Amino acid sequence: MTKKLFRPKEFKEENPLIDTGAGTLEEEKGEASAAAAWAQEQKSKFEQANQTLNERIKTLGEAPAVLPPNAGINHTMVNENIPDYMAATNEKVISNLNSFIVFGTDRPTSWVGGYGGKGATGASSIDIVVGRGSSMKGGDGAPEGDKLGPMFTADAARIYISQLTDIDINFGIEGTSLKSRSGIGIKADGVRIIGREGIKIVTGKAFFGNEKNTLGGTAMLAPPIELIAGNNVGTRGIPGNKFIPTTTINNLQPLLLGENTTDALLELGDIVDEIWSALHNLTVIQTTFNGILGITPLPWHVAGSIAATSATLTMVLNSLYQTRTNKTLWEVNHLMPYGFKYICSRNIKGT
């Protein structure tokens, strides 16, 4: 009696040497032997290909043509430690891998942190985060399954939007601190803002209407812009010696205004020209007087002396006094905060 062997369609297509019809026992043994040989051949090919690919990856850095499971190549799933987010009761969380969008209330730290932790109204927030706890354990990140809250200093990158928050304190920013206001904070290892046709950094309210701040109060007319390199707004000392005194310099200083600075330097050039002119006149007058004295020792050289003295008073001394006045006005106009062409910006500071 013969019996029919079951073989999947795929097996038949991949190995046409094996028939799926009925046969004798001897035929079935032959088919089984051929199937085993075919399977062993396919296994050897796979192992050889996998070994070759691994060697190519190590030596040449090439991506494998056959994707091993959970390798992450071509945006497939990858094995990595992904911490759990310790969500608060009022939060809605959208997540995939180690990327999160959290809708809730102001929460820069734990459940008790921020205005949301105080139960404040009008403190809704959106927290967009990737890489929770990525810098923990020397950059290895948090272990799988660890429950983490927001960590503004350990998470890889974040865009934080809050209706009511202390944005500078949350991100640990030096300088002027804005409290109890709406805020947006962006933090990562590198932040780039690109505008194909320009970028504007603007403080203050819109030029139309009577715009208020978040709490309905009067907005500042021209809030400052602070460009702080190194997050340090303190002071630094410059050591002195017996000729130069020790100097203390503020790290955060007003930036210069280009047009005012240009005008200041041009006016300073005019003052230098005035000094040069006065000294030139003095040289001509003194040369004339010396010439008279050199011609004759007779008494009438006194007339030359009187003329030289008069010219010195009118053409040299008066000019020098006028130059001193102009220099004082130059200092007031360009170097004093109340000057009408103060060279420093009153609203933008940098380090």
Q: What is the mean pLDDT of residues 11-22?
A: 45
> How many angstroms separate the CA atoms of 55 and 61, rounded?
9
Domain ranges of the chain: 3-60, 84-192+199-223, 258-350
Per-residue pLDDT, 294: 60
Cβ neighbours, 10 Å, residue 105: 23
> How many angstroms separate the CA atoms of 240 and 343, rounded?
27
* H helical segments located in 140-228: 167-171
The SS3 call for residue 308 is helix
Mean pLDDT is lowest, of 71-85, 138-152, 221-235, 305-319, for 305-319
3-state secondary structure 82-130: CCEECCCCCCEEEEECCEEEEEEECCCCCCCCHHHHCCCCCCEEEEEEE
Q: Which of 54, 53, 34 is nearest to 42 (CA)?
A: 34
- Provide CB contacts within 8 A for 221, sequence distance 6+: 204
pLDDT at 20 over 50: no
> Which tops the pLDDT comparison, 57 or 333?
333
Across 137-146, 188-197, 242-251, 266-275, the highest mean pLDDT is recorded for 188-197
Mean pLDDT is lowest, of 52-56, 75-79, 125-129, 328-332, for 52-56
> How many angstroms separate the CA atoms of 351 and 229, rounded?
6
